[in-house]
Amino acid sequence: MATDIKLFDSNDENAWCPGCGNFGILNSLKKAFSEANLKPHQILLCSGIGQAAKTPHYINTNGFNGLHGRSLPPALGANVANKDLKIVVTSGDGDTYGEGGNHFIHNIRRNLDITHLVHDNQIYGLTKGQGSPTTAKGQVTSMQLDGVRVDAFQPLTTALTMGATFVARSFSGDVEHLSSLIQKAMEHRGYALIDILQPCVTFNKVNTFKWYKDRIYKLDENYDTSNKEEAYKKANEWGDDGIPLGIIYQNKEETSFTDRIPHLRDGKPLVDREWNPQDAKKFMKDFK
């Protein structure tokens, strides 16, 4: 039985531009949480800084705003402290692949049991439209007036190379597809990345809703998500040749970070265990 979706509504005033792709992602999150029969107190949303990172303000769950590029460290801490909490990191392409690139790589290695949603609008929206890590080479922006001069970062192939156990792509304009994918990511035991193509209606005049609509297609039911070689091929499809949506790759066999550590895997979550303040004093004396 689904949870009442209105439980996830927030009274905070929304500061996103009218028509922003972030609204589709927000609605997809609410729908996914509702259909997964989750309650607000069972969920933690972590973010960094940016337009996408405002998401925890606009949905009624536990929320944590970190520093720019630092959305994953609090998610790691929360995952270790409470393995039963549904943890979703929701941040932008600049926050995740730029400032947070180092955390992105090394938390893939850890295989944290989290869902990581990247609002990939291929631009820095909060700081007025300069090129982000995923902006195409040659694209003119508010800062790169003669075009971006570096190659775009490839998030899906990078995630596959680092050993991510769930790699997917979706589109903010398709709430049904995205909410279904978020549910599958939350069910996955380990690090689940969803790169979400999300138009920026104010600063990115290239990657518009129409631009995506003309190129995206959904992987069919016969696609083998366990085939890593095929996953690389799909991850490299981009532009006029088509952009595939769906689960690009999934490895269900690899153990998650907390399952690799006996005292985290077995028994109660750390937050539910009894502890004695005297034990903490003894622990601190060991450092003297």
Closest alpha carbon to 150 in 205, 102, 97: 97
The pLDDT value given to residue 265: 87
pLDDT above 90 for 23: yes
pTM to 2 decimals? 0.94
Name the packing angle between helices 101-110 and 155-162 (round to 10°).
40
pLDDT above 90 for 54: yes
The 10s digit of each residue's pLDDT in 130-187 is: 999 999 999 998 889 998 999 999 999 999 999 999 999 999 999 999 999 999 999 9
pLDDT above 70 for 288: no
Dihedral of the alpha carbons of 151, 155, 160, 162, in degrees to the nearest 10:
90
Residue type, 118: V
DSSP per-residue letters across 130-162:
---TTSPTT---SS-TT---SPPP-HHHHHHHH
pLDDT above 90 for 280: no
Phi, psi angles (nearest 5°) of residue 244:
-75, 140
Band (253; pLDDT cuts 50, 70, 90): very high
Between CA 183 and CA 288 the distance in angstroms is: 48
The 10s digit of each residue's pLDDT in 82-134 is: 999 999 999 999 999 999 999 999 999 999 999 999 999 999 988 888 999 99
The pLDDT value given to residue 264: 86
- Residue spans of the domains in the chain: they are 5-285
The pLDDT value given to residue 282: 77
The 10s digit of each residue's pLDDT in 171-218 is: 999 999 999 999 999 999 999 999 999 999 999 999 999 999 999 999
Evaluate whether 265 touches 190 at the Cβ level (below 8 Å): no
Please state which architecture CATH assigns to domain 5-285. Answer: 3-Layer(aba) Sandwich (3.40)
Structure tokens at 53: 């990172």
The pLDDT value given to residue 285: 80
Alpha helices in 36-174 (DSSP H): 72-81, 93, 101-110, 155-162
